[in-house]
Amino acid sequence: MWKKKGFTLIELMLVVVILGILMTMVIPRMVGRSEQARKVAAQADIEANIATALDLYQLDNRKYPTTEQGLGALLKKTTTPPVPQYWNGPYIKRKFPRDPWDNPYVYVCPGIHNSQDYDLFSYGADGVEGGGDDITNWDVEQE
């Protein structure tokens, strides 16, 4: 008697159909997750990573870098006035981060929205101000 080895065409078709059904349920849930992950990464940079470096700079120098000095003052002692006397950096370990859309973060000090310290933000996916996708350090009700 023959011992049957392998799968029949019907068994293979059944597996393909089951995989197709699973894919139609899983793929729509994954679409859009990469954009959401980028927003979360930018928010983490703004609220934690860069903010911590700026706070350390401010702790050493008694003020945040000016807009003219920019975020580059966290990497290298600036010669742009007012020159920090107690610079003890670099305050950030790697080359200055860009937002997840590969655009520079925007830094303004003194801030327009945070007049006591600084405004730090990303223009988001569209790369332009406004449009509802900007990620900022002054709007706490962002998604």
Asked whether residue 119 is assigned to any structural domain, the reply reads yes
Q: Residue 14: phi, psi to the nearest 5? A: -65, -40
Asked whether residue 29 is assigned to any structural domain, the reply reads no
**What is the model's pLDDT at position 142?**
41
Strand (E) positions, the chain?
106-108, 119-122, 135-136
Asked whether residue 17 is assigned to any structural domain, the reply reads no
Asked whether residue 111 is assigned to any structural domain, the reply reads yes
**Residue 43 sits in which domain range?**
35-136
In single-letter form, the type of residue at position 36 comes to: Q
Cα 57 from Cα 128, distance rounded (Å): 28
Cα 100 from Cα 98, distance rounded (Å): 7
Cα 142 from Cα 76, distance rounded (Å): 32
Cα 100 from Cα 38, distance rounded (Å): 6
**What is the model's pLDDT at position 128?**
82
Going residue by residue through the chain (143 aa), what tens digit of pLDDT does each one get?
666 677 777 888 888 888 888 877 777 666 667 788 888 989 988 988 899 999 999 999 999 999 999 999 999 999 999 999 999 989 988 777 789 999 999 999 999 998 888 999 999 888 888 878 889 998 754 44
Q: What is the side-by-side order of every strand in the sheet holding 106-108? A: 106-108, 119-122, 135-136
Asked whether residue 25 is assigned to any structural domain, the reply reads no
**What is the model's pLDDT at position 19?**
85
Asked whether residue 30 is assigned to any structural domain, the reply reads no
Asked whether residue 141 is assigned to any structural domain, the reply reads no
Beta-bridge partners for 104: 98
**What is the model's pLDDT at position 3?**
66
